[in-house]
Structure 1
Amino acid sequence: MTYKLINDNCFDWMKNREENSITAIVTDPPYGVKEYTEEELKKKRNASGGIWRIPPAFDGRKRSPLPRFSVINDSPLERDNVYNFFIDWGRLAFKVLVPGGHIFIASTPLLSDIVSRALRDAGLERRGEIVRVVKTFRGGDRPKGAEKEFSMTTVIPRGCWEPWGLYRKPLSERTVAKNLKRWKAGALHRKSIDTPFCDLIESGKTPQCERKISNHPSLKPQDFMRILVSAALPLQEGIILDPFCGGGSTIAAAEALGFNSIGVEQDKDFYQMAKNAVPKLSQLYPQSEKLLFEEG
């Protein structure tokens, strides 16, 4: 077994983790901050609403709960809550990452600017943004209660992409080459000798076969996660950390590629879900590792 799953608050765990001990972080945090609190998760599991809305059935299919991202509005208090959460987290990430270590962090177009400011203020370098091309059910709705009156309007665009921020702990060595030799970090792994890692990735929704294994509301597909995890370790060596492990998709991707990884999840139910799911998710698509390195 090349991975560890830990049931703990990632802030506490990272405080106690030794410095310069993680090669890369790949994670999808609770961006509303509120929706993954114990109180709101209890409401979700009881189907009693709260931040989690239960979408209507679509084409005869029951849809999974989605967080009400509109609760994060432009009030100074809401912005400050998100900023403070991520600057505190970013400082801990800075501590545990090796020099040159990258962070791939999922975001939303509504919040990525706040998160970017927080992580930069925590001392991390912004290195770009990964665009995951995927259509979601979020956005595209008419004004609530006046759908017929304003039938030709939409409140916000329907989401057709998902931004993933890319950050790096500053190098400790004078060049990337020297940093790679010392820390095995500082660059990104190429898709092939002729094809660099690119910041635009076509991605479908998470397949039902994966959701049946891990029914986490924010589960990301294995084909996408394996691309990120591979890119995060430039020499295909080191340790991947997912401090908001959720249903285990990052850890399963690392396991599928034979990389060492650590997943930290505070919620006991999600932690148990990941424990059960990681071995099964990692065994899906056994040819994907070969494809990662042959594509292009």
Structure 2
Amino acid sequence: MSRTEILGPLGLFGDVSQERSRTRAEYQIFNADAFEWMNEQPQGSVHAIVTDPPYGLKEYTESETKKLRNGNKGGIWRIPPAGRAPLPRFTVLTDSDLTKLQEFFEKFATAAMHILAPGGHVMIATNPLLSHVVYIPMIEAGFEKRGEIIRLVQTLRGGDRPKSAEKEFPDVSVMPKSQWEPWGLFRKPCEGRVHDNLRKYGTGGLRRISGDLPFGDVIRSSPTRPQERAISNHPSLKPQDLMRQLVRASLPLGKGTVLDPFMGGGSTIAAAVAVGYQSVGVERDAEYFNLAKAGIPRLSELS
């Protein structure tokens, strides 16, 4: 059974009890399965999706999440030295895992096509190892690939010497040191020309930074700040500096509703609040849902 938190009246998803948010924008958050929830909503009821989905799937299963929360080093999660955030090791995924992952994104693409208004964009975080598993299902579902947004960021991934043979091969790295994170950019086809779609739905393009400066596809981004993790310590929490730029660009006229169906610690919703957009977040895990519930107002207030 899903749980709903209503932070300000959006009026999109039925007759629900409401309380007024004290923050700068209105949002709703749901403790529910993302696919079930998306497929139950009216067609074309949101205007953009900005999300960081669970890429290994298994990293957020009950057994792997339990290991992570207990600080265990086994399983898919790489637990680094104290003070650094854990990362899932996608190189441990089997062929069966990859097949399930592709099926997952096929379901996501179908649900996203249903819930998005014509011309609505999807901004979806991925990584160089698995981006193809996301992009192909999105294109096959009918989305237009509109490019990639490159987040320039140093991570813990890659650059390691061969395990158990570091001294034998000191000048060899198994993989390049990761210095970027791709975000796939997709658009549901417009109805007619872009300006027709903008007039009817408020979607079809990306919001410019200013009259002279368009939104660009390269964003320099530091890792998530310690003060943000202190508020919402989700292992995949994205920094507010990045998320506010992405969320702002996702609604070309600054109007509409942004959806994050894999809300996690609430960084997308907090970013939407900070830039003044209506938003909706969905999170299946009850503990992360409560983390986001408490953290969104505080994250949105950070400068």
TM-score (norm 2): 0.90
Contact 2:56 2:97 (C-alpha < 8 Å) held by counterparts:
no
Cross-structure match for 1:289: none
Runs of at least 4 residues off by over 6 Å = none
Q: How does 1:47-62 map to 2 (within 5 A)?
A: 47-48=71-72, 49-55=74-80, 57=81, 61-62=82-83
Q: Does 1:88 align with 2:100?
A: no
Deviates more, 1:42-51 or 1:157-166: 42-51
The count of aligned residue pairs is 278
Q: How does 1:231-246 map to 2 (within 5 A)?
A: 231-246=249-264
Amino acid at match of 2:77: W
Residue identity over aligned pairs, in percent, reads 54
Cα displacement (A) at 1:247: 0.4
Cross-structure match for 2:36: 12
Amino acid at match of 1:129: E
Cα displacement (A) at 1:47: 2.1
Q: How does 1:38-117 map to 2 (within 5 A)?
A: 38-48=62-72, 49-55=74-80, 57=81, 61-72=82-93, 75=95, 77-117=96-136
Cross-structure match for 2:290: 272
TM-score (norm 1): 0.92
Contact 1:32 1:71 (C-alpha < 8 Å) held by counterparts:
no
**Separation in structure 2 between the aligned mates of residue 159 and residue 257 of structure 1, nearest angstrom:** 30
Q: Decide which of 170, 182, 195 is 2:213's aligned counterpart.
A: 195
Q: Does 1:160 align with 2:160?
A: no
Flag structure 2 segments of 5+ consecutive residues without an equivalent. Answer: 1-20
Cα displacement (A) at 1:66: 1.7
**Separation in structure 1 between the aligned mates of residue 83 and residue 98 of structure 2, nearest angstrom:** 33
Q: Decide which of 48, 63, 69 is 1:24's aligned counterpart.
A: 48
Cross-structure match for 2:12: none
Cross-structure match for 2:281: 263
Q: How does 1:243-258 map to 2 (within 5 A)?
A: 243-258=261-276
Cα displacement (A) at 1:122: 1.4
